[in-house]
Amino acid sequence: MMKSWLTEFARLLALCAPAMILGAVTTHLGWSLLGAVLIFLAYHLGNLYRLQRWLQTDKARKHPPDVGGVWGDLVATLYRESKHRRRLKHRLGHLLDEFDEFTRAMPDAMIVIDEQNVIRWLNEAAASMFELDPHADLGQRIGHLLRQPEFQHFLHQGRYDSTLELSSPQQADIRLSVRIVPFGQQRRLIAARDVSDFFRLEQMRRDFIANVSHELRTPLTVLSGYLESWEEMRVQLPELLRPSLEHMRGQTARMQQIIDDLLTLSRLDSQLARADDYEEVPIPAMVSALKEDAIILGGSAAHVIDTEIDDTLWLRGVTKELHSAMANLVSNAVRYTPAGGRICLRWVRAENGAARFEVSDSGIGIAAADIPRLTERFYRVDKGRSRASGGTGLGLAIVKHVLERHGARLEILSKPGLGSTFSCLFPASRVLQKPIESPTAGSLGN
Ligand code: ADP
């Protein structure tokens, strides 16, 4: 760089020195110096002009103009920069093309929305899956275009850890699984995929279980009817057959219970929860009745059963389903608590207007590793114990389903040897406030 400046000075000197000599000879020093400076200026203006033309027209393609001195340095720097930028642009363009191809090939729908739920970008699959216009709908609010209430609710809730299944807006038999993933600065990616095949397979599995259960029910009813009649004629049967008869009665009762539970699960699986089915459910009375049932079920085990009931709290829901779920929890507490143990049923207010039904026991407890799997169908920590106590391994699966249908969630706390607490947390939207009806309201006793 220094060198080019020296060249410039040398050039100026080379012009001024002869001009000074000429000026001294001709006694017109001023004019000859002015002439030299003008030549110098013309040289620079010429270079400036060439530089400008190069920048405006040929910069990207042609080689830079061949100029020397400071101009040469300047041109070289600009040329280097422009080459670098051209390469960068090319690479970026290539990347953009690849990204475009990738998003086109993507079978999943992707829509990017901002914090105002305004669509910023979407791919082709999203356009066809949701009938959106990839150009005209940019800048529109997603809620104005995807109007299904369940989607609106899902978007509003902002539950990024769960997926929503819904029917395609165009074809009801196409099932879509939708996820919302937050990223960047208040942006969210709505990703949807076609899960119709998986859904159909699930449907076939459900239908199969429901059909098998239905088919088995009738022959089983016949068998247990015969066994019942034989039971009545017990004294006439040979002594040798009596224990077998008892065993057969026990096993058919167990099979009937399994079939009933499977049918309950299929019903919960296949029927959509409809607002029309919701009634005002008197949970306080239900909990009191469950306590009586628990005493009968416990029989000689003589558990100490406490209750804490807020008589003002009712629920909006399906009575039969809620009873089935709560009864399952109470029955488990009785079956997995040794004789003389304590059981407490609580129906109380929780934070933010929610309500909690809690069954705690001082029973055998559950190891931490088993807790996440308890609501799986037929999952039993101790198969022998479950069977011996009349369990089917389906109780908690039913509880989970019923709670999901009521917008509630199940929490399980347990320590082996110390006992367990199963809590159902019902959201405020389900809770009804009722005037106290019974004088024993809110009592804690047994
Ligand atoms: P089951 O009919 O076998 O009781 P559930 O689905 O109701 O089936 O429960 C699944 C398993 O969870 C049970 O087999 C048992 O091992 C465990 N479990 C459920 N409730 C309790 C409890 N209160 N105390 C200890 N273990 C329990």
Q: What confidence tens digit (pLDDT) does each residue in 300-326 have?
A: 999 999 999 999 999 999 999 999 999
Angle 8-13-14 from CA coordinates, rounded to 5°: 95
**The one-letter amino acid at 290:** L
b/e sequence 292-306, b meaning 16+ C-beta within 10 Å:
eebbebbeeeebebe
Q: Kindly give the number of the ligand 1 atom that is closest to the alpha carbon of 386.
A: 3
Q: Whose CA is nearest to atom 20 of ligand 1?
A: 332
Between CA 175 and CA 194 the distance in angstroms is 6
Ligand 1 first shell, C-beta below 6 A: 328, 332-333, 336, 361, 363-366, 374, 379-382, 386, 391-397, 420
CA of 225 to the centre of ligand 1 (A): 30
Angle 429-430-435 from CA coordinates, rounded to 5°: 105
CA of 293 to the centre of ligand 1 (A): 18
**Chain position carrying tokens 């129906």:** 347
Between CA 183 and CA 114 the distance in angstroms is 10
Give first-to-last CA distance, the chain, whole Å: 97
114: region left, alpha or beta (phi > 0 left; psi from -120 to 50 alpha): beta
Among 138, 135, 142, residue whose Cα is nearest residue 115? 142
Indicate the SS3 state at residue 423: strand
Strands, E, within 131-174: which ranges?
164-167
CA of 260 to the centre of ligand 1 (A): 17
CA of 406 to the centre of ligand 1 (A): 22
Tokens of 229: 């009649």
The answer to whether 374 touches 398, Cβ cutoff 8 Å, is no
Among 380, 381, 308, residue whose Cα is nearest residue 350? 308
The answer to whether 179 touches 169, Cβ cutoff 8 Å, is no
Q: Kindly give the number of the ligand 1 atom that is closest to the alpha carbon of 422.
A: 23
All structural domains of the chain? 2-101 (no CATH), 106-194 (3.30.450.20), 200-270 (1.10.287.130), 275-433 (3.30.565.10)
Q: Whose CA is nearest to atom 13 of ligand 1?
A: 380
Full DSSP string of 393-405: S-HHHHHHHHHHH
Taking residue 370's Cβ as centre, other Cβ atoms within 10 Å add up to 16
pTM over 0.95: no
CA 186 from chain center: how many Å?
Answer: 17
DSSP 184: T
Q: Whose CA is nearest to atom 23 of ligand 1?
A: 333
- Alpha helices per DSSP H over 271-347: 283-298, 319-335
Pocket test for ligand 1, best of 254, 328, 332, 360 (most atoms within 8 A of CB): 332
Between CA 37 and CA 33 the distance in angstroms is 6
Q: Kindly give the number of the ligand 1 atom that is closest to the alpha carbon of 375.
A: 6
Q: Whose CA is nearest to atom 19 of ligand 1?
A: 332
Pocket test for ligand 1, best of 380, 385, 410, 413 (most atoms within 8 A of CB): 380
The string of pLDDT tens digits covering residues 185-209 is 889 999 999 999 999 998 899 899 9
> One digit per residue, pLDDT tens: the chain, 446 residues?
678 888 888 888 999 999 999 999 988 889 999 999 999 999 999 989 988 888 887 655 567 888 878 888 888 888 888 889 989 999 999 999 999 899 889 999 999 999 999 999 999 999 989 989 989 999 999 999 998 888 998 998 887 888 998 888 878 888 999 999 999 888 999 999 999 999 999 889 989 999 999 999 999 999 999 999 988 888 888 888 888 898 899 899 999 999 999 999 998 888 777 777 889 999 999 999 999 999 999 999 999 999 999 999 999 999 999 999 999 999 999 999 999 999 999 999 999 999 999 999 999 999 999 999 999 999 999 988 888 888 899 999 999 999 999 999 999 999 999 999 999 999 999 999 988 765 544 444 43
Tokens of 195: 């899960």
Pocket test for ligand 1, best of 374, 394, 400 (most atoms within 8 A of CB): 374
Bridge pairing between strands 342-349 and 304-309: parallel
